[in-house]
Structure 1
């Protein structure tokens, strides 16, 4: 039993460090890594002090909460993992979902999306692309403009790129992009490019807006994925409540 205890302690120490890494390396602190660090630390302390759940105050409430939480995490994880890539079966308009801009340059997550977009547009030279993202209070330029500058600098024809620079959320990204698609008479079906953890929520929103959509996912750095994966679970729950 001691070996299992030590292995669990090591696991939760590593888990805590992984959720801490985004903050140490990039100053990223959000509900994803905060929740991950709290849960990792809490589990570590429970195991370290040898206080099994049935000895805790309100153990039935805590156990019920854990069961519900595990059910939510399992369901969301399945949905995320099975919606990462849904390859287009027809001509579509590419829609790239925005992310934070730092000093007029794309954040790491946004750069991952743009690199996948660059690859996909080169592989499909006839497709048009909408870059979707407004300007936040802490951003010097809109996310759409930042994406436009990045792709043009890498050689993408600017005539293939449209900027949607008013949106402030994933829902607005998709809705405002679709309005621009109709205005410019582009193909109505869309291919959404975003990070893999984000695709399921984006696809769900598109379906609720009656927009036919497909998914091409950008790869997320391993040390960022757990943080954004947990954060996305909160986003999915919020989307369904909304």
Structure 2
């Protein structure tokens, strides 16, 4: 903005203005956002092979700010826990690991943190408590993999693994688990991209397009930083 105000070269100023407006439009354009997201997210696989253990990564499963021990409110990425429940009911998995810690300290005893909320949701939905394991130390995807590996060893859990997380996050999650020698079958949830044909309304700017694209951009940054740190 300062460049546009103080630069006296009108030709360059016009070019910068045009570029700024064009990029702003693209980031808010559902057609552009959906195209990039659909190329990034894995293709949905409805033929999931049987596995013994399902690993669900937390992050947006439960609305912690509203949920209490008497009432659970699901978050934007609650499809993760639903996909685990669906596989359990279909007898494709027999054990479920909920992986992910909670950054904030639980001061209110009635407040329900995400990992516990996900567990309560599964139990309310018919999953046996003894079939649920909680990994509550991890704060990021790399630690999800590290501490899940520790839990599997500690609890003597053996069998094929299904990794359940949001589609936009699956590439980084799979790479992290591979790094700790855990081979998993990816089960994508909470797809952001749409399979429907692009229509005229998809070229009208919407804030939702930017929000969805932001998830993917954050993943690109996360993968780049993880590679630099040797996590992948």
CA–CA distance in structure 2, aligned partners of residues 86 and 239 of structure 1: 30
How far off its partner does 1:11 sit? 8.4
CA contact (8 A) 2:170 2:188 kept: yes
TM-score w.r.t. length of structure 2: 0.64
Q: Secondary structure of 2:41's match?
A: helix
Structure with a larger share of its residues in helix: 1
Rounded Cα–Cα distance in structure 2 between residues aligned with 1:81 and 1:193: 14
| Contact 1:113-1:218 at 8 Å conserved across structures | yes
- Greater alpha carbon shift after TM alignment, 134-143 vs 117-126: 134-143
Distance 1:111 1:127 in 2: 20
Q: Indicate the RMSD between aligned Cα atoms, in angstroms.
A: 3.4
Distance in 2 of aligned mates of 1:180 and 1:86: 28
Which residue in 2 is equivalent to 1:96?
Answer: 56
The 1-side partners of 2:50 and 2:92 are apart by 15
Residue 200 (structure 1) shift: 0.6
Cα displacement (A) at 1:10: 8.0
Q: Secondary structure at the match of 1:120?
A: helix
Deviates more, 1:216-225 or 1:122-131: 216-225
1:126: Cα distance to partner? 5.0
Question: Of the candidates 67, 73, 78, which is equivalent to residue 111 of structure 1?
Answer: 78
Instruction: State the distance in 2 between where 1:239 and 1:130 align.
Output: 24
| Residue 25 of structure 2 corresponds to residue 13 of structure 1 | yes
Cross-structure match for 1:153: 124
Counterpart of 2:220 in structure 1 is 233
5+ residue gaps, structure 1, are 1-5, 19-35, 37-73
Residue ranges of structure 2 left out of the alignment (5+ in a row) = 1-17, 194-207
Which secondary structure state, in structure 2, belongs to the residue aligned with residue 220 of structure 1? coil
Question: How far did 1:91 drift?
Answer: 3.3
Identify the residue that residue 41 of structure 1 maps to in structure 2.
none
From 220, 225, 235, the equivalent of 2:191 is 220
